[in-house]
């Protein structure tokens, strides 16, 4: 849950903003979902007179303060808090947002009790913001009804705790530095440009290519080379004071069009995804003494960006030694990993997270360089499955089970021609990754990792949508096994939970997940599901 707090001095100005169109026409269907007084709750699109009366009532405690002690009150007495979901979360009802607002008011000390007077506040529910996030704004006057000023202390910590509780209560996403891989949200400019051009943003394209190359690579040097081969400009971040002998991070950019004069836009690995930082990627590779020379090669003055090859046509698919196409060979590799995971306990979060991370890499590799609606959905499935990764401080997910099967599958898909048509091989591969996503979702759900289960279930949903465009699931075997039939029934519940929230049967094992990141200044978190 995203919570960002600010203070100001213009009560009427904020009221006008909350019920106005917003800075980017993002305010629609404005109504008061909750308030200090039930008389104001449910008010929709108030007219000018109602807005003036509302501002006057919010400011009334200031008059009490002036009458009691002759003071004007705090210079910054207006408290403004925005609270929003992540874009992929379901839309909360006004009743659910009212629970959130009243919980915030209670925890911040705004509610009236036997020992303190209350604070006047309102919570305004808008339509979705430009990034697609469902949200409310809470406005409060930091003076109590008895004229005493309110001095907030550590409100960001309180809001962080509320966000954690509300996520658990409503089954929303967790995107933090501590739990889940997390995918940083697009900026407002990126969203607007994407909506205008109807194309992926540069960040999403780079995320997909880096994820694919990171999974397909066996060593760090191989990753540096492979990323360059797939049209990504890579540069290292050297550890200061080591004389270019240790790399602690990296940045990537898309080459600019020759002659355009455009500056390169760089993204650090952490800006693409928390599972795409260099330490996180290294956890899945073998030790590599050739890493530093590889980084020096791309960081040398002689290394010049070439033309963009993010959408280039690759060599033809050919056949493997066993006579399979590369797609079917990749599908068999994924199937082997699924079989190996049968012996992995559901409580082994690291093993299931590794499967999710590398499964996302296979999907990203499959979508690389392939235009069209089917592959756009596959790319979305890759992003979703990449979020089904548990990350704890100081620990990264290691290699997945199955003798490098998913790495093999990703390598195979990166060798498939971009011009390859969608057919039986495509359906076989997507079916196997769909089953893998279902297995991961089932394991996470059984172990109580519901946020991660929802991410894997969302990946399965997007994968299913892609499969529908190429004729539906095609299994490697002639029939479904009893285990697969049982899993399909479990996933019906998981998919429903992904769309409407965790069902009561599943939610009974839910546990609040600690850890929420601060954003900037007084921002305490980028999302209530963020």
**Parts of the chain with a pLDDT under 70:** 1, 23-26, 66-73, 87-88, 127-132, 173-200, 257-262, 301-324, 371-372, 392-395, 402-404, 416-423, 476-530
- On whether the 2-170 domain is CATH 3.30.930, my answer is yes
Contact 123, 33 (CB under 8 A): yes
CA dihedral 255, 259, 263, 265 (to 10 degrees): -20
What is the structure's pLDDT at 72? Answer: 59
Q: For helices 349-367 and 450-468, give the axis angle rounded to 10 degrees.
A: 30
CB atoms < 10 A from the CB of 478, how many?
5
Rg over alpha carbons for the chain, rounded to the nearest Å, is 26
What is the structure's pLDDT at 524? Answer: 38
CA atoms within 13 A on the CB side of 489: 6
Among 123, 109, 89, which residue's Cα sits nearest to residue 14?
A: 123
Alpha helices by DSSP H, 273-414:
278-282, 291-298, 326-341, 349-367, 373-386, 405-414
CA dihedral 457, 458, 463, 469 (to 10 degrees): 130
What is the structure's pLDDT at 396? Answer: 75
The token pair that represents 188 in the structure block:
């407002």
Residue ranges of domains in the chain: 2-170, 188-312, 326-507
What is the structure's pLDDT at 525? Answer: 38
């Amino acid at each position: 849950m995203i919570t960002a707090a600010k203070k100001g001095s213009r009560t009427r100005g904020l009221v006008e903003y909350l019920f106005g169109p917003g800075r980017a026409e993002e305010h629609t269907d404005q109504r008061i979902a909750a308030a200090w007084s039930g008389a104001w709750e449910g008010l929709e699109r108030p007219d000018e007179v109602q807005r003036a009366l509302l501002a006057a009532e919010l400011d009334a405690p200031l008059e009490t303060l002036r009458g009691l002690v002759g003071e004007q009150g705090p210079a910054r007495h207006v408290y403004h808090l925005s609270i929003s979901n992540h874009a992929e979360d379901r839309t909360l009802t006004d009743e659910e947002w009212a629970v959130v607002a009243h919980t915030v008011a209670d925890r911040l000390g705004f509610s009236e009790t036997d020992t303190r007077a209350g604070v006047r506040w309102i919570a305004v529910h808008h339509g979705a913001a430009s990034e697609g996030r469902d949200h409310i704004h809470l406005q409060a006057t930091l003076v109590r009804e008895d004229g005493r000023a309110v001095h907030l202390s550590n409100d960001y910590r309180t809001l962080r705790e509320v966000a954690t509780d509300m996520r658990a209560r409503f089954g929303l996403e967790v995107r933090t530095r501590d739990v889940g891989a997390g995918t940083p949200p697009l900026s407002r400019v990126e969203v607007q440009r994407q909506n205008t051009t109807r194309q992926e943003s540069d960040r999403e394209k780079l995320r997909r290519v880096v994820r694919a190359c990171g999974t397909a690579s066996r060593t760090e040097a191989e990753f540096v080379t492979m990323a360059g081969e797939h049209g990504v400009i890579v540069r290292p971040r050297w550890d200061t004071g080591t004389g270019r002998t240790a790399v602690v991070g990296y940045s990537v950019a898309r080459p600019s069009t020759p002659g355009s004069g455009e500056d390169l836009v760089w993204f650090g690995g952490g800006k693409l995804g928390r599972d795409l930082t260099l330490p996180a990627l290294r956890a899945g590779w073998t030790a590599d003494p050739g890493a530093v020379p590889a980084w020096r090669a791309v960081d040398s003055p002689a290394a010049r960006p070439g033309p963009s090859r993010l959408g280039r046509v690759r060599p033809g698919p050919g056949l493997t030694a066993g006579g399979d196409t590369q797609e079917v060979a990749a599908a068999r590799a994924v199937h082997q990993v699924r079989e190996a995971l049968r012996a992995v306990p559901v409580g082994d979060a690291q093993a299931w997270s590794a499967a999710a991370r590398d499964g996302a890499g296979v999907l990203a590799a499959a979508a690389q360089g392939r235009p069209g609606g089917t592959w756009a959905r596959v790319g979305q499935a890759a992003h979703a499955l990449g979020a089904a990764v548990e990350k704890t401080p100081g620990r990264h997910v290691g290699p997945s089970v199955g003798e490098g099967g998913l790495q093999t599958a990703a390598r195979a898909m990166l060798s498939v021609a971009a011009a390859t048509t969608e057919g039986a091989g495509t359906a076989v591969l997507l079916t196997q990754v769909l089953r893998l996503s279902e297995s991961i979702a089932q394991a996470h759900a059984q172990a109580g990792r519901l946020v991660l289960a929802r991410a894997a279930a969302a990946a399965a949903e997007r994968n299913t949508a892609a499969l529908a465009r190429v004729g539906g699931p095609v299994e490697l075997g002639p029939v479904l096994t009893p285990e697969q039939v049982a899993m399909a029934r479990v996933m019906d519940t998981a998919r429903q939970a992904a769309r409407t929230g965790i069902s009561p049967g599943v939610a009974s094992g839910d546990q609040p997940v600690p850890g929420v990141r601060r954003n900037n200044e007084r921002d305490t978190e980028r999302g209530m599901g963020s």
